C-alpha cells in the first residue's frame, strides 16, 4: 500500500508541475475544468446524487459554470465572486462547529443543499487556480506548497505533541497542537516566499497574515470534506487515485484555500488581474 501511495504521489506531483509550468493558460484552464468535472462527479456521490445521468449533469453544470466565469468574468466581478466565496467558507466554519451530518429524513435537503455547496466550492476554486497560473505559475506553485506545508507540519506536530482534538466529531486524528504546528510551518514558508517574490518589506506582514489565513481556511476545506464523507458513510471520495482515494481527497484543502489566497493577493495589490 505504501509503495502504491508513493508511486501515485510521484506521478501526480510530476503531472501537476508539468501542467503548471508547461501548459499555456488556456491549456491549463482546460485541465482544471477536467479536474473540476471529476471532483463534481465525486461530490455528487457524497451528496446522495446517485443516478449516473444526474451525476453527469452535475459535473457538466460545474464545468459550464467554470467556463462561463473564465471567459466572461471581469476584474470587478472577480473580486465580488471571491469575496462571496470567502463568506461562504466562513459559514462552513459554523457548520463544522455544529458538525452534525444530515440524516436520511433530510435526504432532499442534503441533495440540493450539498449540491449547491459543491458548485460554490469547486467553481471559484477552479477559477482561482486558473488565474494564479495565468498571472505567474510560481504563485500557484507557492499556494500548493503552502497547503502541503500546513498539512504536513500539522500531521507530524500532532503525531508528536497532539493532545487536544480539533474536531473529534469530524476528524478525530486532527489536534489543536497539530494545527499550531502547521501554522508555524506556514509562517516560515511565507517569510521565504516574501523574499522569493521580492515583496517590499512594508507588505511582508500583510503577506504573512494572508498565508496564515489561507492555511486556516485550507483546514476548513479539509474538515468539510471529512464531514461530507462521514454523512455519506464513505472512507474516500472515490477510487481514481490508487492509495489516495479520489480527486476530492487531494484537492479538499485547495477548494477553500485558492479563492481566499487570490482574493488576498488582489486586495493587497501584490498581484493584478
Contact between residue 162 and residue 180 where contact means Cβ atoms under 8 Å apart: no
Contact between residue 269 and residue 135 where contact means Cβ atoms under 8 Å apart: no
* Residue 198 Rama label (left phi>0; alpha psi -120 to 50; beta): left
Handedness of CA 198, 125, 183, 138 (dihedral sign): negative
Give the per-residue pLDDT at 194.
97
This prediction's pTM: 0.93
For 175, residues 6+ apart whose C-beta sits below 8 A from its C-beta are 158, 161, 162, 163, 164, 165, 166
> Measuring CA to CA, how many Å separate 181 from each of 146, 162, 225?
13, 10, 22
pLDDT tens for each residue of 182-234: 999 999 999 999 999 999 999 999 999 999 999 999 999 999 988 888 877 88
Of 115, 125, 119, 120, which is closest to residue 232 (Cα–Cα)? 115
Of 149, 156, 166, which is closest to residue 214 (Cα–Cα)? 149
Measured CA to CA, the distance from residue 48 to residue 267 in angstroms comes to 37
Counting as low any pLDDT under 70, the low residues of the chain are 1-5, 98-110, 243-244
> Measuring CA to CA, how many Å separate 200 from each of 193, 204, 238, 243?
12, 7, 44, 43
Measured CA to CA, the distance from residue 152 to residue 174 in angstroms comes to 12
For 164, residues 6+ apart whose C-beta sits below 8 A from its C-beta are 175, 176, 177
Give the per-residue pLDDT at 3.
63
Give the per-residue pLDDT at 105.
47
Amino acid at each position: 500500500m505504501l509503495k502504491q501511495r508513493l508511486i501515485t504521489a510521484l506521478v501526480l506531483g510530476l503531472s501537476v508541475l508539468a501542467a503548471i509550468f508547461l501548459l499555456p493558460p488556456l491549456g491549463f484552464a482546460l485541465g482544471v475544468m477536467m479536474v473540476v468535472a471529476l471532483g463534481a462527479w465525486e461530490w455528487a456521490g457524497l451528496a446522495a446524487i446517485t443516478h449516473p445521468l444526474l451525476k453527469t449533469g452535475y459535473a457538466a453544470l460545474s464545468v459550464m459554470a467554470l467556463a462561463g466565469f473564465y471567459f466572461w468574468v471581469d476584474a470587478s466581478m472577480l473580486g465580488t465572486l471571491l469575496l462571496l466565496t470567502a463568506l461562504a467558507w466562513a459559514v462552513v466554519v459554523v457548520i463544522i462547529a455544529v458538525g452534525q451530518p444530515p440524516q436520511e429524513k433530510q435526504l432532499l435537503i442534503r441533495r440540493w443543499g450539498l449540491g449547491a455547496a459543491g458548485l460554490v466550492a469547486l467553481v471559484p476554486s477552479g477559477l482561482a487556480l486558473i488565474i494564479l497560473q495565468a498571472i505567474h505559475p510560481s504563485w500557484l506553485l507557492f499556494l500548493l506548497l503552502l497547503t502541503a506545508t500546513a498539512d504536513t507540519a500539522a500531521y507530524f506536530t500532532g503525531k508528536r505533541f497532539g493532545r487536544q482534538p480539533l474536531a473529534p466529531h469530524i476528524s478525530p486524528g486532527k489536534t489543536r497542537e497539530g494545527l499550531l504546528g502547521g501554522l508555524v510551518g506556514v509562517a516560515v514558508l511565507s517569510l521565504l516566499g516574501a523574499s522569493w517574490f521580492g515583496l517590499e518589506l512594508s507588505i511582508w506582514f500583510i503577506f504573512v497574515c494572508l498565508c496564515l489565513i489561507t492555511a486556516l481556511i485550507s483546514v476548513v476545506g479539509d474538515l468539510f470534506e471529512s464531514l461530507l464523507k462521514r454523512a455519506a458513510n464513505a472512507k474516500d471520495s472515490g477510487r481514481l487515485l490508487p492509495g489516495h482515494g479520489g480527486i476530492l481527497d487531494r484537492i479538499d484543502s485547495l477548494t477553500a484555500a485558492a479563492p481566499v489566497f487570490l482574493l488576498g493577493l488582489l486586495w493587497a495589490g501584490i498581484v493584478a488581474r
